[in-house]
Amino acid sequence: MKTSFKVVTSLMLASLSMWASADALQVRSMAASCAGCHGTSGVAQPGMESLAGQKKEDFLKKMQDFKSDKKPATLMHQLSKGYSDAQIDQLAEYFAALKK
């Protein structure tokens, strides 16, 4: 009985681990779509805003302002509307963790 419990527990932990890494890959894939304007790994060329190392709160505010049309933009108001609030939060955490 104890052995089957250990096996079930191990399988559950393994599936949670796979889910967490898949989620991290999904966030990294979403962030990759930003590279065209904001640079690889969020480090932009001069003239564009770098996202790497940006405070989470600042990123969230800007994205929500784009999404609600409070902040003018050429593309970001359209792109931001394609992300859920949870996805924007994930992107904010991702870019905040990157080095400038």
| Site of tokens 């690889």 | 40
pLDDT at position 11 over 60: no
Q: Does residue 11 lie within any of the structural domains?
A: no
Please give the residue range of the domain that contains residue 88: 27-97
| pLDDT value at 17 more than 50 | no
* pTM, 2 dp: 0.76
What's the structural domain count of the chain? 1
Per-position DSSP letters for 41-86, written without gaps between them: GG-PPTTS---TT--HHHHHHHHHHHHTT-S--SSHHHHHTTS-HH
Please indicate, yes or no, if residue 16 is contained in any of the structural domains.
no
Residue 79 tokens, joined: 């792109």
How does residue 94 score in pLDDT terms, banded at 50, 70 and 90?
Answer: very high
Q: What is the dihedral of CA 78, 19, 21, 56, to 10 degrees?
A: 40
Q: How far is CA 38 from the centre of its chain?
A: 14
What does the pLDDT average to over 60-81?
95
Q: In this structure, what CATH number is given to the domain that contains residue 57? A: 1.10.760.10
For the chain, helix (H) and strand (E) counts, in that order, are 5, 0
